[in-house]
């Protein structure tokens, strides 16, 4: 195991530190009290897209300047408002923001992620076999290196009805990814979530208990993100959309700690 040095330790005691970018769309908002930042969605219709997000990349103009590379240990103290009744998606971890913006429809690179993720039953996000594609899970994804022009051409073809369905099935079935179910974890109470990203993969734990290792290391560099939104996607069909928000839902953050080797 590598030795780690502390780089970030945000505990939200005096607000939100200067390294973070706070994003709000639609019915999203954020509330702060000493020791806790709440990313919240208020009740509302499906449109417009609603998002409440904290990240450390929106002020960075180029992905190659994103801050995080392996070996790294990320620790987050968090809780969710609901166990199963939330709509859309929510979570926290590391990714490369593969879309040109959260509201964009086409990717500008392939996904690289290591995170803890909640997806409502409207979603089917299964990139590996043997699970239902929604719920509370940990995930690592290593997308292939694809030149932007080829990626753009593939995305255009994927929008054609018949070609699109075949492209989605072929693309998602070959994408290196691994998921670990966290159905045994009650996300509505405070937990300490940790991921350790090395050149050999990503190891996940909850409250110090090892929940699994995915031997798929995402390609660096990555950035931190925590969010709650009202979107869904079905990777089996390529369908995506927005979901009405029947009641308030939120993600509370009490600590974000990053250590690097």
For the stretch 84-113, pLDDT in tens is 899 999 999 999 998 654 434 445 678 899
Contact 111, 141 (CB under 8 A): yes
First vs last C-alpha separation in the chain: 10
- 2 — pLDDT class (breaks 50, 70, 90): confident
Between the alpha carbon of residue 203 and those of residues 72, 88, 101, 118, 231, the distances in Å are: 11, 25, 28, 18, 27
More confident of the two residues 168 and 125: 125
The beta strand positions in 26-134, using DSSP E, are 28-33, 36-41, 51-55, 72-80, 89-95, 112-119
pLDDT of 79 over the 70 cut: yes
Rounded mean pLDDT, 141-168: 50
d(CA 61, CA 55): 14
In the 3-class helix/strand/coil scheme, how is 175-233 assigned residue by residue? CCEEEEECCCCCCCCCEEEEEEEECCEEEEEECCEEEEEECCCCCCCEEEEEEEECEEE
Rounded mean pLDDT, 148-166: 41
d(CA 219, CA 145): 9
The helix or strand, by DSSP H or E, that contains position 171, with its residue range, turns out to be: helix 161-174
Between the alpha carbon of residue 8 and those of residues 23, 56, 73, 76, 257, the distances in Å are: 20, 11, 11, 11, 5
d(CA 115, CA 239): 23
Cα–chain center distance at 20? 16
pLDDT of 163 over the 90 cut: no
Token couple for 200: 């050999």
Contact 172, 55 (CB under 8 A): no
pLDDT of 197 over the 90 cut: yes
Token couple for 91: 């979570």
Q: Cβ neighbours of residue 103 under 8 Å, at least 6 residues apart? A: 25, 49
Domains of the chain with bracketed CATH: 5-260 (2.60.120.200)
pLDDT of residue 239: 85
Rounded mean pLDDT, 231-241: 86
């Amino acid at each position: 195991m590598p030795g780690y040095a502390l780089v970030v330790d945000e505990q939200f005691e005096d607000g939100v530190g200067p390294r973070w970018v706070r994003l709000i769309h639609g019915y999203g908002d954020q509330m702060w009290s000493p020791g806790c930042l709440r990313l919240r969605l208020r009740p509302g219709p499906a449109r417009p897209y609603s998002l409440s997000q904290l990240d450390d990349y929106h002020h960075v103009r180029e992905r190659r300047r994103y801050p995080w590379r392996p070996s790294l240990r990320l620790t987050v103290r968090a809780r969710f408002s609901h166990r199963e009744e939330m709509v859309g998606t929510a979570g926290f971890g590391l990714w490369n923001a593969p879309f040109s913006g959260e509201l964009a429809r086409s990717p500008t690179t392939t996904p690289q992620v290591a995170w803890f993720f909640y997806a409502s039953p409207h979603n089917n996000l299964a990139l590996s076999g043997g699970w239902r594609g929604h719920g509370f899970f940990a995930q690592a994804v290593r997308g292939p290196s694809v030149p932007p022009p080829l990626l753009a051409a593939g995305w255009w073809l994927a929008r054609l009805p018949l070609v699109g369905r075949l492209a989605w099935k072929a693309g998602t079935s070959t994408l290196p990814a691994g998921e670990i179910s966290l159905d045994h974890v009650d996300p509505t109470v405070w937990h300490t979530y940790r991921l350790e990203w090395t050149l050999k993969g990503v190891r996940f734990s909850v409250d110090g208990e090892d929940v699994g290792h995915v031997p798929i290391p995402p390609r660096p560099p990555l950035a931190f993100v925590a969010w709650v939104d009202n979107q869904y996607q079905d990777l089996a069909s390529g369908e995506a959309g927005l979901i009405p928000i029947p009641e308030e839902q939120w993600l509370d953050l009490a600590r974000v700690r990053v250590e690097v080797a």
